């Protein structure tokens, strides 16, 4: 499964959860997406939940903006840097992000960044339509490979 396919499938999972939460306030929806609650009530939302493992080590992990809106990707590559294809990057150049570099590819490594998992950040960018927030991630092209 490539990232685009995962993204679409994950968005559908998010949409199905949101249908169940229609009657809740925005604050209650955000609270519902706390890691501990999601592990208990939505075990299929993330493959890490079965092991109760967090994707980012932080005390109050919120999973609402899984697939960060600052993550830019293209399965075919955003652009080429010498002999390497840049497949993904951070649009805010988070100081806690890094890059995974191989001989022919560069990928964003978000494992050290917790920006989209804080409730204040989620409230600032909140929409009940996850795709509305995240859609800008899809097929963002800077220069063709």
Q: For every one of its 145 residues, what pLDDT tens digit does the chain have, with 9 covering 90 and above?
A: 888 899 899 999 999 999 999 999 999 999 999 999 999 999 999 999 999 999 998 999 999 999 899 999 999 999 998 899 999 999 999 999 999 999 999 999 999 999 999 999 999 989 999 988 887 544 443 443 4
A 10 A CB-CB count for 98 gives 15
Tokens (6 digits) for 2: 């490539």
Residue 144 domain-assigned?
no
Residue 91 domain-assigned?
yes
Residue 145 domain-assigned?
no
Instruction: Please return the burial class of 124, using the count of CB atoms within 10 Å of its CB with bins 0-12, 13-18 and 19+.
Output: exposed
Which pLDDT value is given to residue 136? 53
* Structural domain boundaries enclosing 38: 3-136
Residue 143 domain-assigned?
no
A 10 A CB-CB count for 142 gives 11
Number of structural domains the chain divides into = 1
Which pLDDT value is given to residue 137? 47
Q: Which distant-in-sequence residues (6+ apart) come within 8 Å of 13 by Cβ?
A: 44, 45
Pairing relationship of beta strands 79-81 and 105-109 according to DSSP bridges: unpaired
- In the three-class reduction of DSSP (H, G, I as helix; E, B as strand; rest coil), residue 51 is classed as helix
Residue 32 domain-assigned?
yes
Residue 142 domain-assigned?
no
Residue 141 domain-assigned?
no
User: Residue 143 and residue 77: Cα distance in Å, rounded?
Assistant: 9
Residue 15 domain-assigned?
yes
């Amino acid at each position: 499964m490539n990232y685009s396919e995962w993204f679409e499938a994950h968005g559908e999972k998010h949409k199905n959860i949101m249908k169940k939460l229609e009657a809740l306030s925005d604050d209650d929806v955000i609270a519902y997406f706390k890691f501990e609650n999601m592990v208990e009530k939505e075990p299929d939302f993330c493959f890490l939940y079965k092991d109760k493992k967090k994707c980012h080590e932080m005390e109050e992990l919120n999973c609402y903006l899984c697939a960060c809106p600052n993550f830019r990707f293209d399965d075919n590559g955003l652009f080429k840097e010498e002999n390497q294809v840049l497949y993904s990057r951070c649009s805010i150049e988070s100081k806690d992000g890094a890059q995974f570099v191989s001989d022919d590819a560069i990928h964003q490594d978000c494992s050290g960044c917790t920006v989209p998992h804080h409730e204040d950040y989620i409230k600032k960018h909140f929409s009940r339509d996850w795709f509305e927030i995240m859609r800008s991630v899809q097929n963002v092209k800077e220069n063709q490979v």
